[in-house]
């Protein structure tokens, strides 16, 4: 089983200064081409939040046209830049999205149980789950205690060392980690939000964040670290699961590189 995770696409309308600076639609279009033509063609694609930049319908219309280019099933999660009501309206065919309430859902039919959580706190950059969603997560994990589970969400449940981004983090991360710690079937927690690839143990489980297809956050650690963006290459994560090897993750750059050499049957 192979899952591509793309995140923080930040699609904006063409006239915006944001678009002129970052060209997020062009970069997502190239990422989609790269995923479709990769040697490692995924079975599923998850976009883990901040799908658009300003919460406008026009942005979702652009996103809808773009992701129609994926040649495999695509699942959407909201981030703090998203408008959950508009997300439902523009993507009615994505019937895994609940018709009301929080946008939590489960993807079944695969070796892993895939649980998706809505950390959107409307109008705020911070993330929040709340008691009802945490109870739902607890029930989902308890319902199949011997089945390995993967959780997708936007805000990571840990401090990253990027102080300004941590100020926009998951407010109830301790409560989330307490639940994760009670269930030994959680294989991985996979997030977006911070526009960088970061790994940390939280709740006894490895948590990973996905880089952006648009732009990356400047790596400036510590309390005095300023918040900035850099034009590091667009990236996405490939999550690979086999019974033999378990769950592992690779980073793939959205760029085609020349092959220097290959080894076939012991011969270069």
**Which domains does the chain carry?**
2-253 (3.60.21.10)
- 263 pLDDT band (50/70/90 cuts)? confident
In this predicted structure, the answer to whether residue 98 has a pLDDT above a threshold of 60 is yes
- 262 pLDDT band (50/70/90 cuts)? confident
In this predicted structure, the answer to whether residue 92 has a pLDDT above a threshold of 70 is yes
The pLDDT > 70 percentage for the chain reads 99
Question: For 6-54, what is each residue's pLDDT tens digit?
Answer: 999 999 999 999 999 999 999 999 999 999 999 999 999 999 999 999 9
Q: Are 25 and 252 in contact (CB under 8 A)?
A: no
State whether residue 25 is helix, strand or coil.
helix
Position 264 scores a pLDDT of 78
Question: What does the DSSP assignment read for 167-187?
Answer: TTSBTTHHHHHHHHHT-TTEE
Question: For 197-247, what is each residue's pLDDT tens digit?
Answer: 999 999 999 999 999 999 999 999 998 889 999 999 999 999 999 999 999
In this predicted structure, the answer to whether residue 123 has a pLDDT above a threshold of 90 is no
Per the structure block, which two tokens stand in for 142? 């308890």
Give the residue-averaged pLDDT of 110-134.
96
Q: Are 160 and 127 in contact (CB under 8 A)?
A: no
């Amino acid at each position: 089983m192979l899952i591509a995770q793309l995140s923080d696409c930040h699609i904006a309308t063409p006239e915006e200064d944001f678009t002129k600076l970052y060209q997020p639609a062009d970069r997502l279009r190239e990422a989609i081409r790269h995923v479709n033509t990769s040697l490692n063609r995924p079975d599923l694609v998850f976009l883990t939040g901040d799908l658009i930049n300003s919460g406008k319908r026009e942005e979702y219309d652009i996103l809808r046209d773009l992701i129609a280019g994926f040649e495999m099933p695509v699942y959407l999660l909201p981030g703090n830049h998203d408008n959950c009501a508009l997300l439902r309206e523009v993507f009615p065919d994505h019937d895994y999205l609940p018709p009301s309430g929080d946008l939590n859902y489960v993807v079944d039919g695969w070796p892993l149980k895939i649980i998706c959580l809505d950390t959107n706190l409307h109008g705020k950059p911070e993330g929040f789950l709340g008691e009802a969603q945490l109870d739902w997560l607890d029930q989902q994990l308890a319902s199949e205690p011997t089945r390995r589970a993967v959780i997708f969400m936007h805000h990571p449940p840990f401090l990253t060392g990027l102080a300004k981004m941590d100020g926009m983090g998951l407010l109830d991360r301790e409560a989330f980690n307490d639940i994760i710690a009670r269930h030994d079937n959680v294989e991985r927690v996979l997030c977006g939000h911070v526009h960088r690839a970061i790994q940390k143990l939280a709740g006894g489980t490895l948590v990973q964040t996905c880089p952006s297809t648009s732009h990356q956050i400047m790596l400036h650690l510590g309390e005095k670290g300023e918040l900035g963006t850099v034009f590091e290459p667009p990236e996405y994560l490939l999550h690979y699961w086999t019974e033999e090897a378990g769950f592992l993750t690779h980073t793939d750059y959205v760029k085609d590189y020349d092959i220097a050499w290959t080894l076939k049957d012991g011969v270069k």
